């Protein structure tokens, strides 16, 4: 009869295998069916009326589907996050879109965090250990503020930060809170831009006040990160 540690080890191995299988199927389907071709501004414009009609007539389902897709995209580090955020503003408006983006992105990041901590710690350490070393010292000083900085200033890939936090023993509550707050400014800017794109009926609309403001905000987003970094150093 297997001892409790052996049973736990077998459960972990089966959980890891199941998760890897599901992830592999989703990633393979994404590229095989070329879902990435649908994640473009041209595709959003071409399907604008269809997407809006579905959203207007099936709003709860549209919101749920959007959050689930965004969660999967974030958890698996699939391409298209920026366009999906624009789509959030395109379909739901600036504020509601930013909220749904935040829920999906934070949930997906948390799934990656938990998988790194409980299922794939050894594999991640072997393959990313050298790159994670640069992150560990910052987290040891002040995990919340350091993670908030990394979310505002993308010095490291979003997915790599998710994995690092899982291995460095950042508290789950700290991780969720810093992630949700840190990605909010960028989400608001992109959903606002998406809302303006939705209003375009011709290329002449590219010079409308709303679109010009969207471009200014997108261009100024890195400045927000720099200002936060300087403010933090002044404390």
For the chain, the domains span: 46-234
Would you give per-residue pLDDT tens digits along the chain (235 residues)?
Answer: 444 454 445 556 777 677 777 777 877 877 766 777 777 877 887 888 899 999 999 999 999 999 999 999 999 989 888 889 989 999 999 999 999 999 999 999 999 998 888 777 776 677 666 666 666 666 767 788 888 888 877 667 888 888 888 888 788 999 999 999 989 888 888 888 888 877 765 545 545 676 667 666 666 665 665 665 666 666 5
- Rounded-to-integer distance, Cα 92 and Cα 101, Å: 10
Q: Residue 90 and residue 147: Cα distance in Å, rounded?
A: 29
* Residue 19 Cα distances to 28, 30, 104, 136, 153, angstroms: 14, 16, 19, 26, 30
pTM for this prediction:
0.79
Phi and psi, residue 74, nearest 5°: -70, -45
Mapped onto helix, strand or coil, the DSSP state of residue 179 is helix
């Amino acid at each position: 009869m297997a001892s409790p540690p052996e049973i736990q080890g077998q459960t972990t191995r089966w959980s890891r295998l199941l998760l890897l299988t599901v992830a592999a199927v989703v990633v393979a389907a994404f590229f095989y069916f070329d879902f990435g071709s649908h994640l473009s501004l041209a595709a959003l414009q071409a399907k604008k009326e269809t997407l809006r009609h579905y959203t207007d007539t099936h709003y709860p389902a549209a919101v749920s589907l959007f959050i689930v897709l965004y969660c999967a995209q974030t958890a698996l580090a699939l391409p298209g996050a920026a366009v999906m955020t624009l789509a959030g503003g395109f379909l739901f408006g600036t504020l509601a879109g930013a909220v749904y983006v935040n829920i999906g992105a934070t949930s997906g990041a948390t799934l990656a965090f938990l998988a790194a901590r409980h299922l794939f710690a050894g594999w991640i350490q072997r393959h990313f250990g050298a790159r994670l070393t640069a992150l560990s010292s910052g987290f040891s000083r002040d995990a919340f503020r350091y993670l908030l900085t990394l979310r505002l200033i993308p010095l490291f890939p979003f997915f790599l930060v998710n994995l690092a936090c899982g291995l460095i023993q950042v508290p789950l509550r700290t991780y969720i809170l810093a992630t949700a707050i840190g990605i909010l400014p960028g989400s608001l800017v992109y959903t606002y831009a998406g809302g303006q794109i939705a209003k375009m009926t011709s290329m002449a609309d590219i010079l409308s006040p709303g679109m010009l403001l969207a471009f200014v905000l997108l261009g100024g987003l890195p400045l927000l990160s720099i200002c936060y970094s300087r403010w933090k150093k002044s404390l």
